[in-house]
Amino acid sequence: MTFKLALKNISSKPWRAVATIFVVAVAVSLIFAMLSFSDAVYDYLFQVETAGAGISDITIKTNSTSDRIFGADGIENIEGVDTVVPTLNLFGLYKDDYLSLRGFNKGDYQKLSQMEVVDGDIDALDQNTDNVVIGESMAKAYELSVGSSLEIEMGERKVTFYVVAIAEDSGHFLASSPYTVIGNVKGVSRLIFGEQAVYNEIYIMVKDDVKVEDVIDKILAVETYSQMTVSASQDVEYIQNHTDSMSAPVVIAGLGVYVLAMAFVVLIAFTSLTERKKFVAKLTVVGATKTQILFTFLWEVLILAFGGAVIGSILASGVFALLLKLTLSSTVAFSVSVLKLFLSSSIGFITAVLAVMIPIVTALKSTVRANENEKKSKSVVAVALPIALVLVAIVSVIVEHTAKGGKGAMSMVNLVLVLLAVVVAVPTVLRLVAILLSKVQKSVVQLSAKTVARERRHTRLQILTAGMTVAMLMFMAWSVTTDIFTGYLKEFEDKVFVTNITSSTLENGDIDGILQMEGVKNAIPMVWKQGSIVETGKSQNVNVLGSENTLDIVDFEYITEENTIREKLLENGNVVIDKAYQELYKINVGDKITLDIDGKSATLTVCGIVSHNLFNGNYAVVSLGTLKDMYGMGADTILVVADDASKTADAIRSQYAERNYYSIEALTMYRWDAESLGSVFDLVGTLAFVMAVLVYMVLVAGAVASRPSGEKTRTAFLSAGMSKNTLLGGEVIEYALTGFVAFVVSFGASALMTASLIGALRIFGLYFDFMYSAGTVAIVGAVLTVGYALIPLLAGFKKGYSLKKQSTF
Amino acid sequence: MKDKLAKIIICFILVATLVVTLVACEPDVEPDPAKERKEVVDVFTNTFVKSLDTLWTNVTMSADEMANLPNAGDYILAVEMTKFYADVIDKSPLQTEKINNITKYIASDEGQKIFKAEEFDGNLVFEFMSGVGLTATDVESLVYGGLYKFIESGDTIYSNAIALINQVKSKAGASAQTRQNLDEVLQEMQVGAQSFENAVVDRQNTLKALKDAESGVKTIVSFAYNNAMLFGNGTNKNLITALQTGMLQDASQGEMATYLSSVLDYIEDAVADLEGQVDEVVDALDKVSNIYDKLVVGSGVISDVFTVIEQNKVLPKILPALEDIVSNARGVALKKNGNEYPFISGVTTCLGEGYAIEGDDDSANEIVAYARMFLALAGVEYTATGDTLSSQIAVAKSLVQDLVEVLAGDGTRDSKMNAISVVALLYVDSPSGTMIGDVEVLRVVELYTADLIYDVFKKAYLEYSVNQSLESANAVQNSARILMRFVTGEEVSSVATTFNQQWYENICAQFETKRASEIEACYPSAKADLDKRVDTFFEDGIYALIDIANMTPVALDDEGYVAFDEEVDKLYQEALTAILGREN
């Protein structure tokens, strides 16, 4: 019986049912996307970062303190070593673009990662030393097919290779800058001399139950490899840090949208609350018990929420794929976790049920009479709750910003608390403003203000305020992050990286040669590597800027006095860090930090603090002397500053083609990161826009749907001789007043929430100074306020004014 | 109106259906690799022939068109030979696109420059191979494939050419010049065909032997090719240029050691590849060598293929001994003291900046460098002393003795001639009456000289058979006189006025009989002398070499050289005396 009634209820309001299911479905999809995004990013970054090393545990590479080529004899005898895969990796030019040519010994081609062939035959690699396999993207980019030849240049040497197979863009072929070509070591070595087996990289798989670090130590103890870079093939820490930075904005934006989706569910429930109360009254009158009534509504919401959860689960993969495509790359593969899907559906389902049932349960507590008259006495709780919530929020915000270590988790809590406090308190603010305005002499304003002051239900005001606050926050986040990101990219615009340099680079005058090139402003040899600092609670990945000359190239803001930093940095054992570390991890000048680079560890003293948005402050400046003495490490990169980075990168590429350097614009090197982060920020902006539009649409819908409740009053005014235009003007003023109050409250709340948002980002290891784009916030608020004020005009309220309804009163 | 509309709609649907059907029915144009390869090979054949002469417009000229060519005979030969090469290439594992690239290279200015050089010698062969980007795998496949195919069906080259020449000769329009050229080539082909018949007497067994030893024969070819690319002259001075230019410019000692090690790997890899099939390879190469011995082929690819085999047929036997030597040498040449490689450091210091061995060949520093290299190859550290040095010298002596045994002690004719040749060279300017054991020097030298002249004689007779010029006739006459003097022991003023195959075979038979007996007579003394020299060198001469190696390199003068130093000269002479067994 109750089930049938529920079905009848659903079918009688099909649009309401569809809207509820849709919103629940969207919420479920978003929850799933948020839960899965970080893992997908991690998996993708893992694949990108390990594209070269594959499943190996240890990588041995040449560097500027070692020879450029070496043999691989005897390494298999080192204790703990299971499999050895030596390779020769050279950067050749094909049609003026770099290619990474990776030469393997016969039979080793797939030991690091499998090649998924889409055309041709990988076994043909064994038939000739000049046969190669390329990836699909490269084949497409250069219109190559199986059987095609590639003439690769390295200085004066030109060597032709033949494509025997094309593989999927995974494993070896995941990277596109540069594209990778897999061949035989003897074929690749023709770019240097004859068909000889020499190597510049070795990948090692260690035996089970053997610690990678132990084997690294043993390899480093062998003199041949002691000067080389011997490190773990997978820098999990770096990948995790990178994942966190990529995921944070999306997860936070996604959470915002999820909260909003749930607010819509509540709104849909609320917009029909009057009708539902009447329905409850009718059922009560005909003798239905409270349980029966409750079950009628429960069945209805269960059906709708279940429908939403199911559809959301179906849509989840698509929404997630879309999200990944928008933010990362269409090549990112992901698998659907059943557990996460179940979790997402459950959260969406339960939240929706609660959102709908709570007001109904509240309604059921009222008497039939009360329901019919829509009157409710104010309880003490109803008065005390907003006050308590506002007080708690104020205290919590004060604690967050004053107490040591207050930022982080507390900021996250405050994000919710401030929003809740605002939503709860805004009706009171409106009422106070209305009371003040009711003293105004102008009759229409007075009338509107009195109407507003008498209003007991402020659902739309609360939704408007919440929506406006979140929209302001998201727009502001988009604006600020985009500004930071643009500044970040700008820092790279005039820079060129020349990597893969060797000991002879520093001796044979190549740096002087680069400095003499047209348009080159500066060129410094440096170490450009990933390291990690352990004093950050967990091991925190850091970008090592390994040269004292970095200070001349990057426009740092000096927190510690500049001369002191310049002087101290030259002393061995010192390091300069960003203000972010001071803020996030309370590391100060004079503190000791342990900096790990490529498996080598040293304790350094913080000699100064600077500030720059480079890598979001996630960097450490160390001198070349310190790196050499304490890590046995020489420069691995020449950082060039030039008027035209692209032109200079090409010129270096061409002038030093035979050196096996990899000369590339800094922006190109970080292209994936730049594009992905740009997409993520754009996504935040898009979500902000979509959310603002949805908020507005919901408000319009809410306003239209709640028209009947004020009809008696309006008819009374008209009967009293008020003109339709005056009534419309009054309504516009009423809406404008509501909008204005929401605007003012949201403006203040958004500032507080921005501070909390910045604090909350610390959880992801991100530090930013407080930034607040008041202009952006004001524009978003003003647009929504004006839009809200115009609802009576846009929704054609005037057409609904009628005296005839008087008879029904 | 409705009917009209219905008709239009039906027509539209039909047309649309037809279009869709036609599009759908169009077969996917899948590339046919075999067809594509055939087309590419045809283009290669055409381009190759066209590149040889501007009058040769294509590879399929008719008999009438050929009759108008002044060099029609040459054209026919070129076409037949090119078809032969093309077939070898077609059946080889060369990638189709590579054949295409070879064709392009032949047509390019660079390719034409090499291709039309007056003397297409060994250097140009390597330049050509390098230019077209052939790998060792390609070369071994082409050499083996060419060899196999020639033995299998080389006679068809001659028979096809002879038939075509006769066909063109019958054309009325052929000029006198054309006919003369046709006759010359016809004779060449007839000689070639005859020699092929004489030489390839056991075709099936030879082919079977080659098939059984395919992998080993290919290993020998690729080893020879790699060595030629590394140490060859002309443009392929990889050993030197790799360390002077390109990525390894200013190579460190470690990089040089890596490079040197990878070069030494060639020998070890070759020995590993040959394991278990040395006998098969020796047998196959001997059979090929026997064919080459009797074959009359002019210069060209076929000749080059046989030459490669002839020159490297000893490799399967000596590679294991060489590997032992290399393995021993590796220990010295690549020995590391801290970050220093003493041998590499010792040599590069002598040779100065750039490591170029050029300029003043007599510079003292270079002699010191060579001494250090030689000792390292022998596995002796020039800085070693006492027992270490004695032990190293003993090992080196033993390895060299093993090598001498492989080269000159296995009882075969070639092996015996190796011993005789070495000894003859050492005694070549000794006074008359000097004895090598029981044999007089002159007898050994004469045997060595006659053996060399025998090859000259065979080549001269080939020239004469093809082109009976006065020059070639004189060459045959002179070489035959020397051979007959060796056979009879008396001066021969004239051997014949006209030469034919029967006369030629008679001379060969007489020479070979005499040579065989002389080898038996001279070899024991020659071998004993050789063994004694090895003993003497490792007991005495090597110390002179060590003294040279231990001299401190002298700083270069303003012009970059060091004047020949008297002290070094004295030591150098002592070493030479010890090595040669007499004053230099």
Q: Which tens digit of pLDDT belongs to each residue from B416-471? A: 999 999 999 888 778 878 888 888 888 999 999 999 999 889 888 877 876 777 88
CA-wise closest residue to B557 among B364, B355, B345, B369 = B364
CB atoms closer than 10 angstroms to residue A7: 14
* Minimum distance, in Å, between the CA of residue A496 and any CA atom of chain B: 21
Q: Do A194 and B259 touch (CB under 8 A)?
A: no
Letter for the amino acid at B27?
P
Letter for the amino acid at B365?
N
pLDDT at residue A808 above 50? no
Q: Given CA atoms A288, A289, A292, A295 in this order, what sign does their dihedral have?
A: positive
Q: Do B248 and A68 touch (CB under 8 A)?
A: yes
Residue in B135, B242, B254 nearest the CB of A195? B135
State the pLDDT confidence band at B516, using cuts at 50, 70 and 90.
very high
> From CA B562, how far away is CA B368, in angstroms rounded?
12
* Minimum distance, in Å, between the CA of residue B218 and any CA atom of chain A: 13
State the pLDDT confidence band at B357, using cuts at 50, 70 and 90.
very low
Bridge pairing between strands A574-578 and A81-94: unpaired
CA dihedral A699, A702, A703, A708 (to 10 degrees): 180
> From CA B379, how far away is CA A504, in angstroms rounded?
31
Residues on B contacting A at a C-beta cutoff of 8 Å: 31, 33, 36, 93, 95-98, 100-101, 133, 135-138, 226, 229-230, 238, 241-242, 245-250, 252, 254-255, 258-259, 261-263, 265, 336, 338-339
pLDDT at residue B547 above 90? no
Q: From the candidates A128, A134, A143, A144, which should be mutated to test the interface with B, based on the most B CB atoms within 10 A?
A: A128
Neighbouring C-alpha atoms within 13 Å toward the C-beta of B124: 15
The nearest alpha carbon in chain A to B37 belongs to: A147
Q: Given CA atoms A135, A139, A145, A147 in this order, what sign does their dihedral have?
A: negative
> From CA B526, how far away is CA A330, in angstroms rounded?
79
Q: Between A722 and A162, name the one with better pLDDT.
A: A162
Residues 6+ apart with CB under 8 A from A173: A51, A115, A134, A135, A136, A137, A138, A167, A179, A180
Residue in B98, B101, B262 nearest the CB of A196? B262
Contact assessment for residue A62 and residue A228, using Cβ atoms and an 8 Å cutoff: yes
pLDDT of residue A809: 35
Q: Do A187 and B246 touch (CB under 8 A)?
A: no
The nearest alpha carbon in chain A to B130 belongs to: A159
The nearest alpha carbon in chain A to B101 belongs to: A149
Share of chain A above pLDDT 90, in %: 22
Number of A/B CB contacts below 8 angstroms equals: 112
pLDDT at residue B76 above 90? yes
All residues of chain A having their beta carbon less than 8 Å from the beta carbon of residue B98 are 130, 149, 160, 162
Q: Do B247 and A127 touch (CB under 8 A)?
A: no
CB atoms closer than 10 angstroms to residue B480: 23
Q: Do A197 and B247 touch (CB under 8 A)?
A: no
Letter for the amino acid at B149?
K
Neighbouring C-alpha atoms within 13 Å toward the C-beta of B405: 8
* Minimum distance, in Å, between the CA of residue B236 and any CA atom of chain A: 9
Q: Do A198 and B93 touch (CB under 8 A)?
A: no
Residue in B255, B263, B338 nearest the CB of A196? B263
* Minimum distance, in Å, between the CA of residue A160 and any CA atom of chain B: 7
* Omega cis (within 30) before A178: yes
State the pLDDT confidence band at A782, using cuts at 50, 70 and 90.
very high
Residue in B36, B246, B336 nearest the CB of A658? B246
Q: From the candidates A184, A195, A202, A506, which should be mutated to test the interface with B, based on the most B CB atoms within 10 A?
A: A195
| Complex prediction ipTM | 0.84
> From CA A460, how far away is CA A263, in angstroms rounded?
11
> From CA A58, how far away is CA A312, in angstroms rounded?
43
All residues of chain B having their beta carbon less than 8 Å from the beta carbon of residue A223 are 336, 338-339
What's the mean pLDDT in A392-409? 80
Which of A675-684, B293-302, B516-525 tops mean pLDDT? B516-525
CB atoms closer than 10 angstroms to residue A203: 24
CB atoms closer than 10 angstroms to residue B172: 6
* Minimum distance, in Å, between the CA of residue B475 and any CA atom of chain A: 41
CA distances from B512 to B451, B452, B515 (A): 9, 13, 5
CA-wise closest residue to B165 among B192, B183, B147, B144 = B183
Q: Do A155 and B246 touch (CB under 8 A)?
A: yes
Letter for the amino acid at B578?
A
Question: Token digits for A410?
Answer: 């507390």
pLDDT at residue B404 above 60? yes
All residues of chain A having their beta carbon less than 8 Å from the beta carbon of residue B96 are 147
* Minimum distance, in Å, between the CA of residue A213 and any CA atom of chain B: 25
> From CA A360, how far away is CA A362, in angstroms rounded?
5
Which of A376-380, A676-680, B197-201, B497-501 tops mean pLDDT? B197-201
Residue in A159, A160, A193 nearest the CB of B242? A193
pLDDT at residue B403 above 60? yes
Angle between helices B72-91 and B96-107 (to 10 degrees): 150
pLDDT at residue B236 above 50? no
* Minimum distance, in Å, between the CA of residue A159 and any CA atom of chain B: 7
* Minimum distance, in Å, between the CA of residue A728 and any CA atom of chain B: 55
* Minimum distance, in Å, between the CA of residue B252 and any CA atom of chain A: 7
Q: Do A507 and B250 touch (CB under 8 A)?
A: yes
* Mean of per-residue pLDDT scores for chain A: 82
Contact assessment for residue B212 and residue B280, using Cβ atoms and an 8 Å cutoff: yes
- The tens digit of pLDDT for each residue in A62-121 reads 877 778 888 888 888 899 999 999 999 998 999 988 899 999 999 999 999 999 999 999
- Residue A726 C-alpha from the chain's centroid: 50
All residues of chain A having their beta carbon less than 8 Å from the beta carbon of residue B97 are 147-149, 162
State the pLDDT confidence band at B409, using cuts at 50, 70 and 90.
confident
Q: Do A128 and B95 touch (CB under 8 A)?
A: yes
All residues of chain B having their beta carbon less than 8 Å from the beta carbon of residue A186 are 135
What's the mean pLDDT in B161-186? 88
What's the mean pLDDT in B309-338? 87
> From CA B473, how far away is CA B494, in angstroms rounded?
12
Residue in B98, B241, B254 nearest the CB of A162? B98
Contact assessment for residue A247 and residue A765, using Cβ atoms and an 8 Å cutoff: no
Weakest mean pLDDT among A657-671, B148-162, B196-210, B290-304 = B290-304
Q: Do B248 and A160 touch (CB under 8 A)?
A: no
Q: From the candidates B100, B248, B256, B335, which should be mutated to test the interface with A, based on the most A CB atoms within 10 A?
A: B248
Phi, psi (deg, nearest 5) at residue A602: -150, 150
Largest pairwise CA distance in chain A: 104
For residue B150, give the H/E element and its range: helix B136-153
Phi, psi (deg, nearest 5) at residue A132: -140, 160
The nearest alpha carbon in chain A to B247 belongs to: A659
What's the mean pLDDT in A225-245? 79
> From CA A16, how far away is CA A273, in angstroms rounded?
12
Weakest mean pLDDT among A298-302, A641-645, B450-454, B476-480 = A298-302
Residue in A157, A194, A195 nearest the CB of B246? A157
Contact assessment for residue A541 and residue A241, using Cβ atoms and an 8 Å cutoff: yes
pTM above 0.95, yes or no: no
Contact assessment for residue B248 and residue B255, using Cβ atoms and an 8 Å cutoff: yes
Residues 6+ apart with CB under 8 A from B145: B88, B91, B92
Residue in A70, A130, A196 nearest the CB of B133? A130
pLDDT at residue B16 above 60? no
DSSP state of A500: S
Give exposure, A701-739, as e/b (b: 16+ Cβ within 10 Å): bbbebbeeeeeeebbebbeeebebeebbbbbbbbbbbbb
Which of A139-148, A306-315, A630-639, A684-693 tops mean pLDDT? A139-148
Question: Token digits for A23?
Answer: 């919103």
